Copies of this chain bind each other. A is one copy, B any other.
Amino acid sequence: MVTIKDIARESGYSISTVSRVLNNRSDVSPDAKRKIEEVVTRFHFVPNNNAKQLKQNNSRTIGVLVKGISNMLFANIVEELHRMIERTAYTLNISYLDEDADEVEQAILLCRERKPIGLLFLGGNPEYFKKGFAGVGVPCVMVSNRANELGFSNLSSVATDDVAAAQCAVDALFEAGHRKIGILGGDPEKSYTSLQRFRGCERSFAAHGAAMDAGLCYEKAHFSFESAYRAMERLLTRYDGLTAVFAMSDVMAIGAIRALRDRGLSVPEHISVIGFDGTSLAEYYNPKLATIRQSYQTLAARSIEILFGQIELKKEAIHEIVPFEFASGESIRIIK
């Protein structure tokens, strides 16, 4: 392995001068710079990151904690983050967590082990934050969840207004004439996102003078095809006369639609379905899925910008709401 020492020896300069060239500092003669650079390329020398980071005690790494491995929106955001970060000096360190895992505990571990300069939470449970976030020292951004009420000075957030967005989704069903509406979502006690969307549903029901009996209409599932498939089956057995379903993610909606079709029910002829997230999947699905479109590009871009703002410009934590959009699709039938 070729080290800075070899470059020093080969170029006739000292280690320090080589180090200066490598970090392009100004106090080096053009001559030295040229010569050293020549040797560096000739030897294909690349600095040892471990040594560098050990010395500087910072890592140019941004930790990303992703809750829920089948979450397409998160997958899209991660892709986008990759794209944005790849031509910079930073690296992403991505950890995938179970939907119900304690992301704050993981974050603390990650910080000690990898010394990231900042953290991005894709999904997160405020309960865990209240309990343990004080132990996280670096700037963080919670993506797709609001964190303003938590009041941590190093925790920003970029989120969709889940209450309003879910309400908008269910409104669309009511407005199409549906009254017997089922809901597929995460466990509101464990997933804050699900809780918020649940509240949005309640508001929509109330606004349309309907009673929302969660025991009847709400079915818990994980954010995956399979889990939603099974949840839809349970809902179907239980809820007589059901005409429409709101699924709290596109992946869930698609799992549900397959369950319906397997029972001989088609969408939207027999049952209308609306999803959530607005991933490209929704657009390419058959029928084109009605959904709430969150802009993953905006979510990704803003979260990085805010994080860098906190890290480099020492800005304060901010809490941003990213607008959502209703995408009509073809999966809702207007009845009556």
List the interface of chain A (C-beta within 8 A of B). 1, 44, 46-51, 53-54, 57, 59, 69, 75, 79, 82-83, 86, 94, 96, 108-109, 112-115, 135, 225-226, 254-255, 257-258, 261, 280-281, 283-287
| Closest B residue, CB atoms, query A114 | B49
Q: Using known A-B contacts A225-B284, A285-B285, determine if residue A59 contacts B50 with beta carbons closer than 8 Å.
A: yes
In this complex, the member of A44, A50, A225, A286 whose beta carbon has the largest number of chain B beta carbons within 10 angstroms is A50
B residues in contact with A59, CB < 8 Å = 50
In contact, B82 and A96 (Cβ under 8 angstroms): yes
Q: Mind listing 23 A-B residue pairs with CB under 8 Å?
A: A46-B109, A46-B112, A46-B113, A47-B113, A49-B113, A49-B114, A50-B115, A51-B54, A86-B96, A94-B94, A225-B283, A225-B284, A254-B284, A255-B284, A257-B286, A258-B283, A258-B284, A258-B286, A261-B286, A281-B281, A285-B285, A285-B286, A286-B286
Task: Report the separation of the CA atoms of residues A283 and B262 in the bound assembly, to the nearest whole angstrom.
Answer: 12
Interface of A is mostly: helix
- Contacting residue for A280 out of B44, B82, B83, B225, CB 8 A: B225
B residues in contact with A53, CB < 8 Å = 50
Task: Report the separation of the CA atoms of residues A47 and B115 in the bound assembly, to the nearest whole angstrom.
Answer: 11
- Contacting residue for A287 out of B47, B109, B286, CB 8 A: B286
Task: Report the separation of the CA atoms of residues A69 and B77 in the bound assembly, to the nearest whole angstrom.
Answer: 12
A297 → B minimal CB distance (Å):
14
| Closest B residue, CB atoms, query A287 | B286
Task: Report the separation of the CA atoms of residues A249 and B15 in the bound assembly, to the nearest whole angstrom.
Answer: 51
A50 → B minimal CB distance (Å):
4
B residues in contact with A283, CB < 8 Å = 225, 258
B residues in contact with A226, CB < 8 Å = 280
B residues in contact with A281, CB < 8 Å = 281
B residues in contact with A109, CB < 8 Å = 46
The 5 closest A-B pairs by CB, nearest first: A46-B112, A50-B54, A286-B286, A50-B53, A50-B50
| Closest B residue, CB atoms, query A257 | B286
Task: Report the separation of the CA atoms of residues A279 and B172 in the bound assembly, to the nearest whole angstrom.
Answer: 31
B residues in contact with A114, CB < 8 Å = 49
Please give 11 more A-B residue pairs, beta carbons under 8 A apart, in addition to A46-B109, A285-B285.
Answer: A1-B57, A44-B108, A44-B112, A44-B135, A51-B54, A54-B54, A69-B83, A225-B283, A257-B284, A258-B284, A261-B286
Task: Report the separation of the CA atoms of residues A112 and B49 in the bound assembly, to the nearest whole angstrom.
Answer: 8
B residues in contact with A96, CB < 8 Å = 79, 82, 86
Task: Report the separation of the CA atoms of residues A247 and B281 in the bound assembly, to the nearest whole angstrom.
Answer: 17
| Closest B residue, CB atoms, query A286 | B286
Task: Report the separation of the CA atoms of residues A226 and B94 in the bound assembly, to the nearest whole angstrom.
Answer: 26
A234 → B minimal CB distance (Å):
18
| Closest B residue, CB atoms, query A267 | B286
| Closest B residue, CB atoms, query A261 | B286
| Closest B residue, CB atoms, query A262 | B288
B residues in contact with A94, CB < 8 Å = 94
Task: Report the separation of the CA atoms of residues A54 and B48 in the bound assembly, to the nearest whole angstrom.
Answer: 8
| Closest B residue, CB atoms, query A78 | B96
| Closest B residue, CB atoms, query A112 | B46
A79 → B minimal CB distance (Å):
5
